[in-house]
Every structure is written in structure tokens, then in C-alpha cells.
Amino acid sequence: MGERRTSWEELQEPAPEVESSPVVGVFDSGFGGLTVLKALVRQMPGAQFAFLGDTARLPYGSKSRRTIARYAAESAQFLVNQQGAEFLVIACNTASALALDAIQEAVDVPVLGVIEPGAAAAAASSSTRDVLVIATEATVASHAYAAACRAQGLRAVEKACPLLVPLVEEGWIEHPVTAEVVGIYLSEVLEEARAAEQSPDTLVLGCTHYPLLRKVFEMTVPDGMRIIDSAEATAEEAARLVSAQVSEARSGAPGFSQAPSIRCFATDSVEKFERLGSRFLGLPVGKVELVDLGG
Amino acid sequence: MGERRTSWEELQEPAPEVESSPVVGVFDSGFGGLTVLKALVRQMPGAQFAFLGDTARLPYGSKSRRTIARYAAESAQFLVNQQGAEFLVIACNTASALALDAIQEAVDVPVLGVIEPGAAAAAASSSTRDVLVIATEATVASHAYAAACRAQGLRAVEKACPLLVPLVEEGWIEHPVTAEVVGIYLSEVLEEARAAEQSPDTLVLGCTHYPLLRKVFEMTVPDGMRIIDSAEATAEEAARLVSAQVSEARSGAPGFSQAPSIRCFATDSVEKFERLGSRFLGLPVGKVELVDLGG
């Protein structure tokens, strides 16, 4: 957690200047997006966070654009209209890839996805201008990363890795089977890059579950390949945008209060969220509130 | 397929005496239930089948009872009220385990799940009266199989195997990683049975995806252990019940027409259903129709 460690007790206390702290809505199909929330708390320790996991309808990664857009728009409206979010972070690669437009149409606050910041971080990392992107089926099928990378002057080879989310959720984080599966997926995408005469030097983790497998990736990638986690890049960009928004809207206001507050909501499986969520947030997630979005 | 092989061309033709053939509704959260439909077609080659996969909201196996019951009831109502099903087969272990009551309340036709026939088949197979049941998280958490086995005079040790569905859907049917994962799960459940001083001689495949891994199970189970696929047992029981119902309702009517007809519906991912469904049905699934259940 770097220099400043936020204890769970601090997070549970009401923020002292809560009225002037911005409410940042963070949305994911499940709880993988808690890796992004963790980075956001580090970047904006005084903000109020409302996190929604649409766990009744997860995973989005294997579903169609039309369905994902509907689910994501409903979830965004809950955070803005019912939780007062003044800024939305889409902490889900699949929803960012397929539904950012639908979300921006559904709500009237600034919305930031994880794809653009991830591609920008890849551009800052890559010397060869060739990168690999691993993600869910739906994210890869959308080619949103390839487009965002192209806009940064990069060539990207994308690869769907549908077994990695279930392996993380099974808790096989440093398991030999996981290492074997990662090895298979990486050798396939490297082979594809070779066939396309590309020389990738950077691997983008295009799914919020994948940072939990960082050690396995580090052991498996070729020497010298850098690993980009878009959570960090997204959190930095979000902090910049939120600060600008706050100082514009409330000139003279203190901006952030001293301690963050986090409220977590889920559309299902509150117990599972509470049990698994701490793996992703790096802190206990506390009491998760059940929400019915009617789906 | 036994003596009578039904070709795909036959299935596509309209059934000759379609008015008098019963409409059997078959429901699953995804397309795994097509393994049950395959067995049903063998048992009732002259029936009309309407199959619904609730693919927009799958998987059910990781969700709560409340959510599963709502999804399953809506799906059952679609098959009965909009497709005219006169009999429902719940071709999904999770929905059978957690939502059979909710479905029976939601519709006014006979409803058959896969759990009771599976437990009855296990009872017919086991000499030691100890069995193993592998299934999804939600099915295991419900202990529906343990209860159904107990009613048959059996003791059951249940084990959740959440990686097997993703492995089947990735197409890693006879893959070394799948064999390794199956080996780990089986050794864990066998260890648990030993700790409980049980001597299981029968393994129940408590998820409609698992029959596709039958070869891997056969290579992995201890010598002499029998493998029960509840699809077959359920189809036999369904044929018996449907025949009784048809002859009661339509005395003198011919019962079944000559060739089955199959219509498939899905709430999402029609392309994925069409692509993967044939693996489960053992026949091309043809054109899948998209349904919006509003979820």
C-alpha cells in the first residue's frame, strides 16, 4: 500500500468532512473491480466511494454487447441516482470495452473506463511498440484494446483467457494448474505475435481479476517483458479528473476529507462478495448491501 | 444413440402429427441441459421439444437461492405460457436443487428435476450404499443430492468443482489440464469420504456439463467405481410421466408423432449457443431464437 496504509478501522469511520468529499461511484460486474478500488483509495484517500458489483448477472465477459450495455447502464444509474455518485469509474474491462457509450448516455456525470488508461500505460512502457493484451472473451471480441493501443501508436495482439477468472475465484492463485494454464495461454499469444512478425515487450492485464495472478505472470513471461495493470493507470487518471472537477464545482472547498469511506453494494451473493472481496481490495470489505436492479 | 438414430434432417422437418404430440419444455441456465435433451429425444423421439437456455443470466451455480428461484420461475413461465409446454424438465442441477418448489408454484404443469432421478440411479448402482456427488457450488451448498440420496438409503459426500464448467466451455474436453483438475477434485472428495469412514463405489455427475468429461472421469476414478449421469435417468422418468399424462389427457390419441421437433431459445449469446450447443446435443442445434425475459 506504499507509504500510507489505510486501516480497515479508518475506512469504517465516517469521513470527518463528508459533505465536501466527492462521491466516486465504482462499478464492476463482480468484485474483480475491487483491485481498481484499492488503487483509487491509494490515489484519493479522502474520497467517499460507492462500489457496486452486479453479481446477480456476472460474468459479463461471456455475454453479448446488447446485454452487457443494458446491465451496465442500470448499474451506473443506481450509483448516480441512488448513491449520489458525481464521478463514475467503470472498474470492469468488459463493460469499459462494450458499454462505455451506453453508460455515458445513461448518466449525467463524467465516466472513466479502464481501457484508455491501460493503453496509455502500455504506450509509456513499450519500446518495440508491440504489446500483448489478455482479457475476457467479450473484451477481446470487441477489439477495444487494439483500437485504444492503435490510437497510442502501438500494435496489439489480443488473447481471450476464459479460465483465469474461475481459477482466481477458486483461490488457486499460486497453484501449479494456474501456472500451467497461464503458460499455455501465453505461449499461444506469443506464437500469434511471432506469426504477425511482432516483437511484444509489454503484457497488458486486461481484466481486473488478473492482477491477483501477477506473480504467476512474472514467472511465466519472457525475460524483460513488462506487465501493465490498468487499475493503477486508471486510478491515477481518475484522481486527476476528480480533483479538477471538485475544484471547479466547489471553489474554496477543501476537496477531500481526511479518511476515505467505502460502501459496497451487490446484486447477489453478499456472503461470497464479503468472503472473496478482501482478496481483491486487500482489506476486509465489511458489510455488503444487497441491491435489486430487477434483472 | 442406440438402435434408432435421429438425423438432424429429421429433427428439422415438421412432425407429421404435430397437433397430438406433447410439447415438452426443457430448461437450463445455459446449454449444458442439452445433454438431457439429447437423452429425452432418444426416449421420446416423437415429442415436440422447446428448450430454453437462460444464457443472459448464467451461470446459476455461483448465485443465491433467491436469485436462482426468480430466474428459473421466469424461464419456466416462458416455456409454459408462451411455448405451450405441457410438461417441464428442469435440465439443470442447480435449478433443480434450489428452485424446484419455486418453479412448481410458478406454473401449472408437471415439473421434473434431475436430482431425484439421479439419486434413484445411484441407489440402483451402489452396493456399498456410499456415493460421491460432484456438482456446482450452489448445488452442493443446497445439499439437495445428500437429501435425495438419504431418502434412497444412501450416504453421500458432495464436492463443488467450479472449474469443470469453464474447462468444458473452453473446449478442453480431453486436455491434460482438465485431467489434472479432475484428479485434484476426485482425490479431495475421496479423502473426505475416507475421513467420514465411507466406501463409495459410485460417482454421480451432478451437473449437466460433466457428462462431456466422462472419458476423463473414467480414467481417473478408482477401479470399479461406477459413474452415474442423471441425464439418462431423468429422461427415462420423463418419458414414463409424459406417456402417462398424454394417455390420460387424450384417450385414443396416438401420443407421439413420428419425428421429434426441437426449438431452441436463449436469453443471450445466440451465436455462442449455436456454436457450443452441438457439443452437448450431439447434433447441430440449428437456429436459436433470442428471448428477452427482462432480466
**Domain ranges for chain A:** 8-113+232-290, 115-230
Pick B163's closest partner by Cβ from A166, A184, A269.
A166
pLDDT of residue B264: 95
Quick check: B272 contacting A, CB < 8 Å?
yes
Per-residue pLDDT at A69 exceeds 50: yes
d(Cα A167, Cα A181) in Å, to the nearest integer?
Answer: 9
In angstroms, the separation between the Cα of residue A295 and the nearest Cα of chain B is 3
Residue with cell 443465491: B64
Q: Biggest alpha carbon distance in chain A? A: 57
Interface test with A, best of B31, B54, B55, B57 (most A CBs within 10 A): B57
Map residue A282 onto helix, strand or coil: coil
Quick check: B291 contacting A, CB < 8 Å?
no
Virtual torsion, Cα A58, A54, A203, A165, nearest 10 deg: -40
Question: What is the average pLDDT score of chain A?
Answer: 88
Residues 6+ apart with CB under 8 A from B113: B90, B95, B96, B97, B100, B234
pLDDT, one tens digit per residue, over A183-208 is: 999 999 999 999 999 999 999 999 99
pLDDT of residue B3: 39
pLDDT of residue B258: 57
With CB atoms and an 8 Å threshold, state whether B181 touches A184: no
Interface test with B, best of A164, A175, A181 (most B CBs within 10 A): A181
Burial of B215 (0-12, 13-18, 19+ CB in 10 A): exposed
With CB atoms and an 8 Å threshold, state whether A162 touches B181: no
ipTM of the complex: 0.83
Asked whether B85 and B25 are in contact (CB, 8 A), the reply is: yes
With CB atoms and an 8 Å threshold, state whether A269 touches B170: no
d(Cα A221, Cα B34) in Å, to the nearest integer?
Answer: 39
Percentage above 70 pLDDT, chain A: 88
Pick A269's closest partner by Cβ from B58, B64, B170.
B64
Note the Cα A158 to chain centre separation in Å: 18
**Rg value, chain A, Cα:** 18
Helix (H) or strand (E) holding B26: strand B23-28
pLDDT of residue B20: 64
Pick A63's closest partner by Cβ from B56, B62, B167.
B56
Residues 6+ apart with CB under 8 A from A225: A200, A201, A202, A203
User: By C-alpha distance, which of A239, A229, A292, A293 is closest to A32?
Assistant: A229
Beta strand B261-266 with B48-53 is parallel
Domain covering A8-113+232-290 assigned CATH 3.90.700.10 in the classification: no
Judging contacts by C-beta atoms under 8 Å, the chain A residues touching residue B56 are 57, 63, 67
* CA angle A196–A202–A204, rounded 5-degree value: 100
d(Cα B160, Cα B133) in Å, to the nearest integer?
Answer: 9
Q: In chain B, which residues have pLDDT < 70?
A: 1-20, 247-259, 295
Quick check: B72 contacting A, CB < 8 Å?
no
Interface test with A, best of B54, B68, B163 (most A CBs within 10 A): B163
Instruction: Tell me the pLDDT band of A156, cut-offs 50, 70 and 90.
Output: very high
Per-residue pLDDT at A258 exceeds 80: no
Helix (H) or strand (E) holding B155: strand B155-160
Asked whether B284 and B33 are in contact (CB, 8 A), the reply is: no
User: By C-alpha distance, which of A176, A239, A66, A161 is closest to B166?
Assistant: A161
Other residues' Cβ atoms within 10 Å of the Cβ of residue B155: 18
CA distances from A201 to A154, A272, B187 (A): 11, 37, 40
Judging contacts by C-beta atoms under 8 Å, the chain A residues touching residue B172 are 163
Query: Could you confirm whether A92 is annotated as catalytic?
Result: yes
Judging contacts by C-beta atoms under 8 Å, the chain B residues touching residue A56 are 57, 63, 67
Q: A-contacting residues of B 73-132, CB under 8 Å?
A: none
* CA angle A269–A274–A276, rounded 5-degree value: 90
Pick A163's closest partner by Cβ from B167, B184, B267.
B167
Asked whether A142 and A98 are in contact (CB, 8 A), the reply is: yes
In angstroms, the separation between the Cα of residue A58 and the nearest Cα of chain B is 7
CA distances from A156 to A16, A102, A210, A236 (A): 46, 25, 18, 23
d(Cα A41, Cα A90) in Å, to the nearest integer?
Answer: 15
Asked whether B64 and B93 are in contact (CB, 8 A), the reply is: no
What class is the A115-230 domain?
A: alpha beta
With CB atoms and an 8 Å threshold, state whether A162 touches B169: yes
Percentage above 90 pLDDT, chain A: 70
Q: Which residues of B22-53 are buried (b: 16+ CB within 10 A; e: fewer)?
A: bbbbbbbbbbbbbbbbbbbbbbbbbbbbbbbb
Nearest residue in chain A measured CA to CA from B271:
A64
Quick check: B6 contacting A, CB < 8 Å?
no
d(Cα A84, Cα A80) in Å, to the nearest integer?
Answer: 5
In angstroms, the separation between the Cα of residue B134 and the nearest Cα of chain A is 15
Judging contacts by C-beta atoms under 8 Å, the chain A residues touching residue B268 are 63-64, 67
pTM, rounded to two decimals: 0.85
Most confident of the following: A232-236, A250-254, B153-157 = B153-157
Pick A177's closest partner by Cβ from B165, B169, B181.
B181
